[in-house]
Structure 1
Amino acid sequence: MHSVVEINDPKRRNEIVNNFLKNRKEHKIKNLQERSDLEHVEDYRIEVFKPILESNKKLQEEIIDEKNKIVETLNNFKSPSQLSIAPATTPTPKTNRKSLIKQPSVILPPSLPSSSSPQVVSNLIVSYLQDNSDRSNAGYSIKFNKAEKKYAIGNKDITFDQNIIKVNNEEYTATEGLMELLLKKSPDLNKVTTEDSSNYKKILLCSNALYQGFDKNSKRYNADSSDKWAFIKSKYFVAKTPTTAGTSSTSGSSISFIPSNTNSLIDSLRLSIGSYQAGNKDEYNKIHAMLDELVKQKVIKKKDLGVIYLNIGM
């Protein structure tokens, strides 16, 4: 209920009306000022937080891009519902959690290298292929070719079946040590056995993975500063100081990729000598290195080198 005030004095009435109009105008101006102030605050806030917002946007894009890479990697394999402990045709028996860890396997999709049917691949291999931590991008490590949907090392394709790695028609049993050497930049050498080291060397040799362009005739290695390259040099390379007849040793050094095992060394020497005598003069330094190594291993005597060189025709 509104109260009514009677004003009989025209002067008083005009005064009240004018005050009302004045107050309304002041309120209007105040509202406009407050709106202007809010707009100014909003503009200021945008200006202050713009770098942060842009940074967050960039970070979000990077996260999305990284997520897409992970999804793409995971899409190379079947969905979790297709994980199996044995081949798909064999029912999975009840077992405890420990047994699941020992013999897990996953079915690779048909898009990856396979024969006539999808392959069942051990979780050991799958876990290493999916793990991008400390991943080596060097030519002497396993790489996935997105265009051709297959794995390779050097100039050879790699296929997987159960816990077997197949390279150049040779089969190798996957172990933690071998997978460390095939994929990691800094392999855990505590996991690497003598057999792992030997198998890795065979894979490097058959695939020319150590040479630039995977061409051993290039005489240039895919050398880098990684721990794995240091392992390769210490295990598979023999350093030598080149010498020339009638002169003293030069100051430099060359490295030949030759076996350290005596029997393998002698076999390689025979092959290199045959190749050299057939006209391949690129074997010259390698033959020198192998003979020097045989002298170090006391298989031949240094005084006999002259006769050996003469018989070879060097």
Structure 2
Amino acid sequence: MMSDLVTRWAQRDRVREAAMSTSAARDLVARYVAGQDLDDLIPVLISLIDKGLLVSVGYLGDHVNTLEQAAANKDVYLTIVRRLSDEGISSSSELSLRLSRLGQRLGAEGRHFALGAARTICRAASNAGVLVTVDMGDYELVEPTLRAWEQLHQDIPAVGVTVQAALHRTQRDLSDLAMPGRRIRLCKGVFREPKQVAFRNRHEIDLAFVRDLRMLMNSQVIALVASHDPRMISIAEELIRRTGRPPESYEFQMLHGVRPMEQRRLADVGYRSRVLVPFGPGWYDYYTQRLAERPANAALFARSLFGKR
């Protein structure tokens, strides 16, 4: 597939080194990623909030291979929460928490550490007035993530969780998850899973997303609609009208740099519109994933490496 070719090309050492050292390439990446550290992130968040948008912070940490690295990421998440509070933007902010960055893949000991670390982070965020939504990893992490979220939710009911429409199991999961007041983020899913566990055809994924969206909108959950697809957004708007949902019971979520005018439009007509802003040392891998989703952007990225923007 073209997306696989783009990803392999971007991950070559020579391409990575050029992107890391070329200002034009870094400027292009800045459209989607708010730099490597908090001093880069905070001005981006404040700018979005000043435009009437809500924000969600996604930390792009390095791959975790040891509990020491997981503990370091825990400290980063706690620092993010403190900084959001210090800047006075807690009430407009959400933390998108990925348990794999806290050691979830490191066996039983790692899962135990990840749960304890997530509980500490969620409590600190709750005290600071920052929302938390647990992000979802690939298929093998779905079940342990949902089990961990259940424990976090019991402790702090405002903690949300993410589900992926592309997975066969999601509608069954939603029948258990869609309880009043719970915050559930619905996305299509970015992981290419085996056909035994996931839809692979784009049309099938769209149909699954609409089925799941209807289930959420007909329930009493707080529905977080995470999609850039104009058709899905239009369907969500129609379902909001049909169900008469109050404004605080749903929101739209999109990635930083993707359809910014639509983000503003949704906010301007009175919807809660939240922008997920990623930052951190893992910015390059994140950006190459965006390239795989939009192969046409690879040409622009390649030109930037050679100063031909």
**What TM-score do you get using the length of structure 1 for normalisation?**
0.24
Higher-RCO chain (CA-CA 8 Å, sequence separation at least 6): 2
Larger radius of gyration: 1
TM-score w.r.t. structure 2 length?
A: 0.24
